[in-house]
Structure 1
């Protein structure tokens, strides 16, 4: 199994595990951020060893799904993807999209709790 597929399998497991808890949103954000940090570390290690890498699109998907704080920590911790300009632009867009999605979910959840 490639590293990319393994990342998506972990994403699915994180989603299922978070749904089985009393606070699924909190657990989701904890899991997705932890996985994102680990993914940045694994990608940096693969880059150093010349192995198959995690595609940038996968890193961005994890950022959009709520893992952007973990991505920022992973970038700084591993000094990975901090200089590549196209990625930095796409990453910023993914952060904005993620925050907008969180705002919509929050707005819809607070709206539905009124009724």
Structure 2
């Protein structure tokens, strides 16, 4: 823990060097769990509000699948992403268009630390 990919690769090469002549190891990070503050949090009218580990290339659709969609009371097109990495800047997202209408232009990439807020509809 606490090592970057190239340091970990060198450590593995050193250990493999006991068994293999001149091993070459490449480490590629495909999933980032990281500290709690850098995980994706989903609150409000999600099917199962929760904290998710951030994955590389994770999108809004991936997040919605993981949380079981929205409740019947959700106002999906009024949802926002609170981007903690940018000083809590808020971005509007259109979950209803993405899920119910298949509008792929509404599918945005998530970032570590994002908080997805799905509000309740007023009617």
TM-score of the superposed pair, with normalisation by structure 1: 0.23
TM-score of the superposed pair, with normalisation by structure 2: 0.22
Larger radius of gyration: 2
Q: Of Structure 1 and Structure 2, which has the larger fraction of its residues in strand?
A: 2
